[in-house]
Structure 1
Amino acid sequence: MAPDELASNGLDQVRDIIQRLQAPIPDLPTLLALLGAPLAALGLLPPRFRGHNQNALPDGAFKLGRHIPPIQEAILLKVAPTWEQELRENDALLLADQYFCPDSFWCATDEAGDIALLAYSTLLSTPLTICSLRLLSRLTREYPVDRLFQAVFARKGSQSALFTQRECQKRSIQWEDCVQNIVSVPAKVANAALANKIAIPELLEHGAYLNNLCIRCEQLICSLSTAPPNSDIVSAIAYLLGKLVKVGVFPPTRPTSRSQPSFFLSTLSSIRGNLRALNDTQYATLWHEILDQLPSISTTQSILTSLFSSLSIGFDSDPGVAPNARIKAEASLLLGVVGHLGEARGELWDSITSIILNRGWTEWHARILVCWVAGAQADNVDDATIGAWLSAVVDVWSSPDHIKYSLLSQHQYLTSLLLFTISYLPPSSPRLSSIGLSPTFISGVGTYIGHNDQAVRLCGMLAAEVVAHRTGRDLAFGNWDSEGPGKVWARNLRHKLQFRDIDALLDEDDVDIDVPTSAEQAQVQVTEGHPTREPTIVLATESGYDSDDSLIGYQSEASSRSASPTPSELAEIEKEPTLNVGVKKVARPVYLAQLGELLRSQAGPQGKDDPHHADKIEMALNCAEELIRRKRNYGTELEENVVNLVYALITLQDNYDLDDFESKRQAALNALVGCCPQKAAPCIIEQFFINQYSINQRYVMLNAIAIGARELASLPIPPSASSVPADRPSFPSKLLPAHLHTKYLTAGDTNRIQQITDSLSRVAIDKSKSDDGDKVPGIARERRLRINQSSKITAIEPSKKNNQFPWQNAPPVKDTTFTEVAAEYFIIPFLNRFWLFIRDEQTREERTAHLSGRARYHGAGTGLILNPIVLSHFLSTMTVLVHAAQNAPEWLAIIAPEALEFALTVGTRPISLPDDDDDDDEHTTETGQSPEESARNKEASVLSASLELALIVLDGAKEVDDGRSLGLEHTALLIGTGEWAGTLFARLESGIKAEGGGGAQDMKLRWAAAGVLLKVDEITSKWRRSMIDSANI
């Protein structure tokens, strides 16, 4: 085969791999084969996966820079959301991670470095997920900035190309992109974590990430100091420091918390050690060159300000009178990092004088800075630099604006800086003599002496006296030993001027002088400290014998039967591979279509005869809820499969007595309604009114609708019915097996929908009416407007850019709220289908009304929708839906009147002919019973559920518009509801019992009727006059 044809075939193979990774993948071996071939072509395939490289790529067909980004994109957007769990369970996740963070075995290779560089770009340009954060955390740990610098500038076998102009430009652009990516990680991670409500890994937290980046940056500078000098490398490091300045790692003051990163606070110990360990000057020289090539003066000032504030000073302690070795050590540090200061350094001199003279520092800083300016060496004091420095200090100290407006601390700092600078000049220095005679200094002293504050006057008097004494002139103001404002400071400063810190002797103890802050100490405790277990305390009695006679054991007769295996032992035996030879394991579904196939496996060619049918159903139920929620907002896969999944889950039967079958099926249906309400809710509503389901299946459908609605409305959901009350006996029977024990123990628990409706009714009735503000419409409206007032700060949407990736131009996915879909997809379809169902059922009953016995159709028969058990649950579900939709825009005009009419109709009108074969008398009407007789003979559960629905509607109307819409636009409906509740309550009070009532049900019915009466009275008393006027019109 010709080389061109071979290369073309290789490119086609690579394109095919990328396309197949972006499409649904049928099984795990196919995925491993697709991932293994490109890694094998790069030489990065782990040895244990070489068996999956079935279709090897030709040499030279795979281009790393061209083909790795689309593969990384496909893994993040297509493969990881679907296959990550499966890869982790099969210990194959390393194969996907190799495309982002090659493991330590290949870390030193050029290909690994290039992949890491591309991984940063791909991860930060795609939506960040939990998988992305995990990979970013690994990259941060295994491929820090010094390793990325090596990948850009120190490739093996290309050192000669490093100095060509074209290669340098290419590397410089690549490095700038790399730096831009690594410094933007904390912000993008924080935004993604807030938007997606996911936890941030510890390594990616703002403070920890940037502090670690600073440490690795200093290590990079240290490693580069031993290499030959190169201007491109210095420019690259200066660019990195400039970006770090913009993200705030060079703060002007020492941080006070762990979340505030600081470059020098993290690296000063290492910098001191490197300055001391490296005897040559290469490390210090590299620092000098970097500072000289910083991109702007503001960047230089930010770095130097942070360096000065990070010096290990003694805070509140006094520096002392004698020469201080700690001050000289810090001055030596400045000398090593910044270098000798002189006017010849131009911009650096201007930056340092601006920082030191225009900010308020302490006396420690003044002594350190003067010692550094003098050269930090006793035998080599730089008199020229000291003289120039003195002139700059005098100009600021004598400024009239400074004398008039500065605070006392700034006056004392600049005076200390001036006098410490003078102490380093010999008396015969011409620069010192010129200062004493300069008009600027003399006028400054005069302005100081004329100041109103005595402490400020002392600054000028002390400076004048010291300068006169150093130049051989007689000037003594005296009275320095008296008490007064500023006198103690002046006396101490006069004594300290007798010594110079540059004359101190340094030893090893004076060099390591880092003083950790409280934030650093807390961070050390978090990262290095490990919680220790408390020692076990054993209390012994005085007699040494703490046993109880009632606990003395006795010898039992030995049984000839062997011990039965425990459930854990049975599970281990079942998993034993030698006992399950040839047994096919059911694969975990990774697509919703596969989940549907597992749920519908009974309808396959083998059906129930399939020996793995039970395993398929169990695997599907175990993965259903997690898989459905994972596919939310992930393309159109959920919308395409939601209807099939609803059908499969509703019709599923527990033929194999699987563990937690009902709870898992219910959770899956809840997830379908919560994740795709526009498709799942109408489908469930349609299936509910088909006469082929049992009561249990209808309960599952109603529970899914109600719980899914509350999930969409962000309302709390009560715990499942399997929770055991505290007063329930732990062992109802010692003779039952464990699974039967659990079954009967939880059989009497109240269902979750009933718990919700009971809670809603209780809250509606118990609402306090004592607040006078709520009784005044003006105050109530003003309060409501104040509470609902929108924020005055409006977020400005960023301008749209023509980004490379399509998802960057797409708007963010907005979660569906229940108020958006309540009327269209839940409540109104449910009510409309119910009315149609009632019409059809009553028509069937009328057609067979003349028959008797089994030939007569009864719509409220056992298992049907109009049966009191199902109908009451249906009403409770509608109550939950109406309450959750209270803030919907259609609530007042559509939802409230329709729901109230539904409750009133079901509670008063006959929904089915009575189940009485002897009802053939002439006085029986064709329509059945009268409304009064129907209300009397209604089941107590249906009546209480109808009243609860009416109560929630009335309470919501009272909350939204104080009942105005119902009272004025639906007056007859409101009054009819009140008459119904009043008649029913009067009959209950007179002793008439409803069918199926008694006990708690009777109390609940009486309570609901009273609540409806109260709500109707509140609304009618509020709008009675307007209701009468509208009725007259």
Structure 2
Amino acid sequence: MADIQGQVKETIARLQQPIDNLQTLLSLLAAPLDNFGILPPQFRKYNTDPLPPNSVNVRKHISPIQCALLEHILPVWDTALRDNKPSATLLVKQYFCPDPFVNARPVSGDISLKAYETILTGRLGHDGIRFLESLAREYPMDRLWTAVFEGTTSALEKDQHLAVKDLTWEDCVRDVISVPAKVANAVGSAGRGLDIPPVLENGMYLNGVCRRVEVLVEKLSQRPARSEFVPSVSYLITKLVNVGAFPPSPPTTRSQPSFWQINLPVIRQRLHSISQPEPYTLAWRKLILSIPSSLTLRSVLASLFASLNSVEPALNASARGRAQVKSEALLLSGALGDLTEDEDQLWETATNLMLGRDWEESYARIFVCWIAGPGGTNSKALRAFLELVVDAWSVSDHIKHSLLSRHRYLTSLFLLTASYLPSDDLQAVVFSPLFMQGIGTYISHLDTSVRRCGMLTAEVIAQRTDKKLAFGDWEGDDSGKPWCRQMRELIKAKDAEADLNVLGGSETAEGTTSIEGDTSSEALASTEPPINPAKATFVTPETGYDSDDSLTGYASPPSSRSASPTPSELEEIEKDPTLNVGIKKVLRPVYLAQLGDLIRGTGQKLGGDEPQEVDKIEMALNCGEELIRKKREYGTELVENAVNLVYGFLALHDNFDLPGFDEKRQGAMNALVACAPRRAAPALIEEFFKNQYSIDQRHVALNALAVGARELASLPVPPSQVPKEKTSFPSKMMPEPLHRRYLAASQANTTLLPLMVEDLSRKAIDRGKEATEDKVPEIVRERRLKINKAPTITEVKSSSSDAISRLRLGNVPQVKNTTFTEVAAEFFIGPLINRFWLFLRDEQAREERTSQREGRQKYYSAGTGLLLHPLVLSQFLRTLAILVNAAQNAPEWLAVLAPDSLELAVTIGTRPISRAESEDDAEDPQAEREGKEAAVLTAALELALIVLDGCIEVDGGKSLGLEHTSLLLGSGEWAGAVFARLEKGLRVEGGGGLHEAKLQRAAAGVLLKVDELTSRWKRSMIDTR
């Protein structure tokens, strides 16, 4: 026995460890399913290592296997399982939701019970939501009830005590009812890329649960001896009340569930179709009366009353109107039985609802008809109810302060109840002090319509007890007289004596059709044959040929050359197995180490049947970003392989002209920085300052840092937009699709950062403009005179939504996502600035050592392709500006990040970083031009502008103005000098046109920000004593 258990534990342990290949995984998955007897036939060939019979226990072993599948197998092997033929995802699904072929087996019910528990206790992801969707469709509440109370898989479990089953059922109900809330929380915390399936939406899901309750009640009605199971269904009803499935009024939105709105049409149809409805009615009555809480019972009855079909008009005295009232009363009798005083809790709750809430007069007719019973023979209940009505109708506060609708409702209850009683039973009412006092209060009421309610009641009761009382003046259309006449006409006959045959079968059929359409729409959709769309046909006019002669083609001799193959034909030829004999296919990587091997290679010579390097690189690019993001919250695998992947992707070259190479590589690099910032960002910064990379590769690194940082900071990343420039050579030499492709590829890595920095600079300048406008009296007065706009809908902040999610999820551990403010200083901005200063020192020292040499022996640090080249340096400054802006809320912002970044911008903008700049200035000292490149100068000023704007936003510029005064004033002098020279017509290298406008705007923006800071803190910056 120990060896058998050891084999099962070994199988579970192997599922929790990394698996080498797909065949091994399929063998491990097939063995337990075959032991359960639910292994699909098409997968029996994979059961190469079967387990001994009856060695796997569902209650003991299925939960660890399910956890291993959710936490270890699916995050790694989902794509490989899906690509397998036949799809091996069916094997995994069998562990959570066995297919319909084995649905009726007891082991399938036990597996579904454990699946709810396993999925909802862990962290809910895409796979768990997919399994919950299947469980909701294939294992509804009545199937789960059967699994708990009637499904047994062993002789030992047959002897289980009922209390143990009740505990299991309570856990099952809690799990099933909590599915919509937990799915919504999981989708809300996951952000983009995950949607709630329609079946799991709150309204539709709970309506489905409510619908299966009726099926369960119908099943219990066929076995009245099993009444000990009624409390289990009562517990389910209580939970549905707690989640709002019994609304006090009919729902108006699709997201709100309603138990009775779903089930009343089915109950009505069953009462009409069953030859002996007494067992079905008794089952519903036992269920309602078994509800332990009076508050729960009140919610159930209030929702039931509100879901009844009202009669329009309310006082319709026609035969059809009376039949409709009787039909609804019989529906109440079918669901609750006859209302008598013997059932104290039901009587008190129902009568309190009838007298305590405001209903229409049609509901008064239904209530009285229900209390009267079949044929109006329940005189005892009617007398007791009439006493309660008289008490409520005669209250002085009600008569003085209630609305007219309330007066008419209670008057209707009074008169309708009295119409069912003989004269002797009404004698007590006539001599009741409360009744006499109420009549007097009504007659003295100032509102004529209310006064006539009391007068009508007095006349009708007097006539039915052979007394003489006539107020007269009932003709006319004013002061509620028409309503009084309709009420007199109504009480001439009894609704309980109406003939239901006048309704026919139309309404019943309508209700049945509607509910069947709601509950089985998917089944109908699956059984209906698909309708093929009609093919378009072209009809030739009878008038004959009507085209212009110039549009007529002409016959040409056939070409001797064969037609060129189309792209689809080329793909088919490439996939032809007879042409690729012996060549191995590149397997899709499931681990990050395998992804690293694909992009870095082994350096060994490939064999004849080994896949080529181009195939490996293409596979790595196609699945790189997806695999990296999938491993973000999966253990430490990403942390261990992040640096290796950074080296591999950054060093890639497009030697094979692969389609989408730049976009896919950039996406993988962005994912690395966003998903593993503590490892990927420092490694990327270290590689950036090495001279072995090209300008394109350096741009990829800078883009990854910027985009990854903004993603960590939950900031929007603008899409790359290629300007529509007219070029003569590509459009003349290539077709338009290829033109667009190569033009976009050549500029994909250089346009993203300028667009983002330009957007940030514009926002910073606009904020300064708004602050300046507040100081102009005319603008302030104009704003105050304008009508304020209505408040718009605002998004709930992530902090509050996270708190609500934590409260709802209880103790479920949630993975904490890294924010950019946590890693900005230590892993992004700090290493980037410090490494730049070290690199600049080394480069200037190298230039100094070779300054005495001539020609090519002299080293220039700003040469083509090097980091200090203006093209790369400007991108570096833009990246730093984006990082600084994203880190504005970091705790190190005011003390470290802002002053260090501003110092770097001022230094690069004012001092030469290479001997080439100094030599150019020395050769022509009188030249009216700026030594700095326009791109570098613009980027430095934009960085300074973003830093200054951030300081104003955080603390009004206090820290920068008081603790770094010289740096602030130096920034102002630098920007003023640049702006003044531009105003004088100074030429800037690489400037002109749009670049010159950007430079001038950035310089002006820095000047305004510095002026705003100095004017605010000038008294503290300079001692005037």
TM-score by structure 2 length?
A: 0.90
State which of 996, 999, 1003 in structure 2 corresponds to 1:1005: 999
Q: Which residues in structure 2 correspond to 1:522-541 (within 5 Å)? A: none
Q: Write the distance in 2 (CA, Å) between the matches of 1:931 and 1:351.
A: 100
Q: Which residues in structure 2 correspond to 1:526-675 (within 5 Å)? A: 547-603=547-603, 606=606, 611-675=611-675
Q: How far does residue 460 in structure 1 lie from its aligned partner after superposition?
A: 2.1
Number of equivalent positions: 999
Match of 1:966 in 2: 960
Answer with 1010-1019 or 201-210: which moved more.
1010-1019
What is the CA deviation profile of residues 926-979 of structure 1, one whole-angstrom value per residue up to 9, with x for unaligned ones?
Answer: xx8999999833333222222222232233334444444433333322332333
Would you say 1:439 and 2:439 are equivalent positions? no
Answer with 236-245 or 662-671: which moved more.
236-245
Answer with 710-719 or 671-680: which moved more.
710-719
Q: How far does residue 535 in structure 1 lie from its aligned partner after superposition?
A: 12
Q: The residue matched to 2:266 in structure 1 has which SS?
A: helix
What is the CA deviation profile of residues 365-405 of structure 1, one whole-angstrom value per residue up to 9, with x for unaligned ones?
Answer: 11111111111336xx2222222222232232223343344
Q: The residue matched to 1:324 in structure 2 has which SS?
A: helix
Would you say 1:142 and 2:147 are equivalent positions? no
Q: In structure 1, what residue type is equivalent to 2:690? A: I
Q: How far does residue 123 in structure 1 lie from its aligned partner after superposition?
A: 1.3
In the alignment, is the contact (CA less than 8 A) between 1:985 and 1:1009 conserved in 2? yes
Q: Write the distance in 1 (CA, Å) between the matches of 2:758 and 2:1004.
A: 15
Q: Write the distance in 2 (CA, Å) between the matches of 1:180 and 1:821.
A: 40
What is the CA deviation profile of residues 310-360 of structure 1, one whole-angstrom value per residue up to 9, with x for unaligned ones?
Answer: 111135554235561111111111122111221122221122111112111
Q: Write the distance in 2 (CA, Å) between the matches of 1:724 and 1:520.
A: 57
Would you say 1:422 and 2:424 are equivalent positions? no
Q: The residue matched to 1:344 in structure 2 has which SS?
A: coil
Match of 1:732 in 2: 731
Q: Residue 302 and residue 753 in structure 1: after superposition, are their counterparts in 2 closer, same or farther (change >3 A)?
A: same
Q: Write the distance in 2 (CA, Å) between the matches of 1:966 and 1:668.
A: 38
In the alignment, is the contact (CA less than 8 A) between 1:674 and 1:712 conserved in 2? yes
Q: The residue matched to 1:507 in structure 2 has which SS?
A: helix
Answer with 151-160 or 113-122: which moved more.
151-160
Match of 2:463 in 1: 469
In the alignment, is the contact (CA less than 8 A) between 1:910 and 1:929 conserved in 2? no
Q: In structure 1, what residue type is equivalent to 2:287? A: I
Q: Write the distance in 2 (CA, Å) between the matches of 1:985 and 1:681.
A: 36
Q: The residue matched to 1:643 in structure 2 has which SS?
A: helix
What is the CA deviation profile of residues 695-727 of structure 1, one whole-angstrom value per residue up to 9, with x for unaligned ones?
Answer: 221111111111112222222222235x57497
Q: The residue matched to 1:938 in structure 2 has which SS?
A: strand
In the alignment, is the contact (CA less than 8 A) between 2:372 and 2:381 conserved in 1? yes
Q: Write the distance in 2 (CA, Å) between the matches of 1:340 and 1:506.
A: 19
What is the CA deviation profile of residues 986-1011 of structure 1, one whole-angstrom value per residue up to 9, with x for unaligned ones?
Answer: 44444442333344434443443344
Would you say 1:900 and 2:902 are equivalent positions? yes
What is the CA deviation profile of residues 121-143 of structure 1, one whole-angstrom value per residue up to 9, with x for unaligned ones?
Answer: 11111111111111111101011
In the alignment, is the contact (CA less than 8 A) between 1:329 and 1:510 conserved in 2? no
Match of 1:200 in 2: 196
Q: Residue 12 and residue 393 in structure 1: after superposition, are their counterparts in 2 closer, same or farther (change >3 A)?
A: same
Q: How far does residue 790 in structure 1 lie from its aligned partner after superposition?
A: 12
Would you say 1:251 and 2:247 are equivalent positions? yes
In the alignment, is the contact (CA less than 8 A) between 2:314 and 2:361 conserved in 1? no
Q: How far does residue 177 in structure 1 lie from its aligned partner after superposition?
A: 1.7
Would you say 1:222 and 2:222 are equivalent positions? no
In the alignment, is the contact (CA less than 8 A) between 1:239 and 1:295 conserved in 2? no
In the alignment, is the contact (CA less than 8 A) between 1:211 and 1:261 conserved in 2? yes
What is the CA deviation profile of residues 500-523 of structure 1, one whole-angstrom value per residue up to 9, with x for unaligned ones?
Answer: 11221112845654799xx99998
State which of 109, 116, 119 in structure 1 corresponds to 2:115: 119
Q: Which residues in structure 2 correspond to 1:924-963 (within 5 Å)? A: 936-963=930-957
Q: Write the distance in 2 (CA, Å) between the matches of 1:29 and 1:948.
A: 57
Q: Which residues in structure 2 correspond to 1:90-129 (within 5 Å)? A: 90=84, 91-129=87-125
Answer with 603-612 or 695-704: which moved more.
603-612
State which of 285, 303, 307 in structure 2 corresponds to 1:310: 307
Q: Write the distance in 2 (CA, Å) between the matches of 1:799 and 1:697.
A: 42
Q: How far does residue 479 in structure 1 lie from its aligned partner after superposition?
A: 1.7
Match of 1:876 in 2: 878
Q: Residue 443 and residue 697 in structure 1: after superposition, are their counterparts in 2 closer, same or farther (change >3 A)?
A: same
In the alignment, is the contact (CA less than 8 A) between 1:638 and 1:676 conserved in 2? yes
In structure 2, list runs of 5 or more residues that go unmatched.
781-787
Q: In structure 1, what residue type is equivalent to 2:166? A: S
Q: How far does residue 469 in structure 1 lie from its aligned partner after superposition?
A: 0.9
Q: Write the distance in 2 (CA, Å) between the matches of 1:1007 and 1:360.
A: 69
Q: The residue matched to 1:479 in structure 2 has which SS?
A: coil
Match of 1:4 in 2: none
Q: How far does residue 808 in structure 1 lie from its aligned partner after superposition?
A: 7.1
Q: In structure 2, what residue type is equivalent to 1:292? A: L
Q: Write the distance in 2 (CA, Å) between the matches of 1:630 and 1:733.
A: 44
Q: How far does residue 685 in structure 1 lie from its aligned partner after superposition?
A: 0.8
Q: Write the distance in 2 (CA, Å) between the matches of 1:789 and 1:94.
A: 40
State which of 317, 322, 334 in structure 2 corresponds to 1:320: 317
In the alignment, is the contact (CA less than 8 A) between 1:909 and 1:934 conserved in 2? no
Q: Write the distance in 2 (CA, Å) between the matches of 1:284 and 1:888.
A: 67
State which of 284, 289, 293 in structure 2 corresponds to 1:292: 289
Q: In structure 2, what residue type is equivalent to 1:837? A: F
Would you say 1:36 and 2:30 are equivalent positions? yes
Match of 1:3 in 2: none
Match of 1:332 in 2: 330
What is the CA deviation profile of residues 31-53 of structure 1, one whole-angstrom value per residue up to 9, with x for unaligned ones?
Answer: 11111111011011111111111
What is the CA deviation profile of residues 892-945 of structure 1, one whole-angstrom value per residue up to 9, with x for unaligned ones?
Answer: 3322222222112112212122299xx8xxxx99xx899999983333322222
Answer with 357-366 or 503-512: which moved more.
503-512
In the alignment, is the contact (CA less than 8 A) between 1:883 and 1:956 conserved in 2? yes
Q: Which residues in structure 2 correspond to 1:165-204 (within 5 Å)? A: 166-197=160-191, 198-204=194-200
Q: Residue 1027 and residue 332 in structure 1: after superposition, are their counterparts in 2 closer, same or farther (change >3 A)?
A: same
Q: How far does residue 664 in structure 1 lie from its aligned partner after superposition?
A: 1.0
What is the CA deviation profile of residues 819-842 of structure 1, one whole-angstrom value per residue up to 9, with x for unaligned ones?
Answer: 332222211211111111111111
Match of 1:700 in 2: 700
Match of 1:354 in 2: 352
Q: How far does residue 1021 in structure 1 lie from its aligned partner after superposition?
A: 4.2
> What is the root-mean-square deviation in Å for CA atoms of aligned residues?
3.9
Q: Residue 44 and residue 604 in structure 1: after superposition, are their counterparts in 2 closer, same or farther (change >3 A)?
A: farther
Match of 2:844 in 1: 842
Q: In structure 2, what residue type is equivalent to 1:654? A: D
Match of 1:367 in 2: 365
In the alignment, is the contact (CA less than 8 A) between 1:326 and 1:511 conserved in 2? no
In the alignment, is the contact (CA less than 8 A) between 1:321 and 1:495 conserved in 2? no
Q: In structure 2, what residue type is equivalent to 1:885? A: A
Q: Write the distance in 1 (CA, Å) between the matches of 2:850 and 2:100.
A: 81
Q: The residue matched to 1:360 in structure 2 has which SS?
A: coil
Answer with 146-155 or 969-978: which moved more.
969-978
In the alignment, is the contact (CA less than 8 A) between 2:847 and 2:915 conserved in 1? yes
Q: Residue 330 and residue 82 in structure 1: after superposition, are their counterparts in 2 closer, same or farther (change >3 A)?
A: same
Match of 1:717 in 2: 717
Match of 1:266 in 2: 262
State which of 51, 61, 82 in structure 1 corresponds to 2:76: 82
In the alignment, is the contact (CA less than 8 A) between 1:329 and 1:511 conserved in 2? no
Q: Write the distance in 2 (CA, Å) between the matches of 1:40 and 1:103.
A: 14
In the alignment, is the contact (CA less than 8 A) between 1:326 and 1:513 conserved in 2? no
Q: In structure 2, what residue type is equivalent to 1:685? A: I
TM-score by structure 1 length?
A: 0.89
Q: Write the distance in 1 (CA, Å) between the matches of 2:42 and 2:531.
A: 38
Q: Which residues in structure 2 correspond to 1:7-86 (within 5 Å)? A: 7-86=1-80
Answer with 316-325 or 572-581: which moved more.
316-325
Q: Write the distance in 1 (CA, Å) between the matches of 2:974 and 2:755.
A: 25
Q: Write the distance in 2 (CA, Å) between the matches of 1:96 and 1:681.
A: 37
What is the CA deviation profile of residues 511-558 of structure 1, one whole-angstrom value per residue up to 9, with x for unaligned ones?
Answer: 654799xx9999899999999999999999998876455543233332
